[in-house]
Amino acid sequence: MLQPIRIAAVLASLFLSGLVFELIRRRRIKEELWFAWLVAGLGPLVCSVWLGPWAALAHWLGIRYEPALLMIFGLLFAVVLMLYVSTVISTLMRQNQRLAQEIAYLNWRLDKLDDRAA
């Protein structure tokens, strides 16, 4: 028999995965980020359905409370996801700054050409 917490975890994971698929379909999530969010949505589903290996790994590592191992992996995944999103945002910020500089330079040149023509 399934425990209520496992059922809730499966339902929440399915909801999150469905939401991610919908956002991918509507192209609301960029290509750089869809895989990370898909893993974030399906990861809890796999962990809640397939508990045996996690319990064995927790016992092997000396962790007495098996869900603590899942919490550790979840926190590590969240940190990696934040780091990845930060690198994507940093790249976009650099591109935005470069484009703004190019536009400013082109405007300056256009003004200079207008002054010469007048």
Contact 54, 66 (CB under 8 A): yes
Q: What is the pLDDT of residues 42-55, one digit of tens each?
A: 888 888 788 788 88
Quote the domain boundaries for residue 16: 1-50
Mean pLDDT of the chain: 87
* Confidence class for position 1, pLDDT limits 50, 70, 90: very low
Q: E-assigned strands of the chain?
A: none
Shared domain check, 43 and 76: no
Whether the pLDDT of residue 84 is over 80: the answer is yes
Whether this prediction's pTM lies above 0.85 is answered by: no
Contact 53, 74 (CB under 8 A): no
40/63 Cα distance (integer angstroms)? 24
Give domain status of residue 3, yes or no: yes
* 46 lies in the same domain as 77: no
Please determine, for residue 90, whether its predicted confidence score (pLDDT) is greater than 70.
yes
**In this structure, what DSSP letter does residue 30 have?**
-
Residue 112 lies in a domain: yes
Q: Count structural domains, the chain.
A: 2
What's residue 76's pLDDT? Answer: 92
CA–CA separation, 16 vs 71, rounded Å? Answer: 18
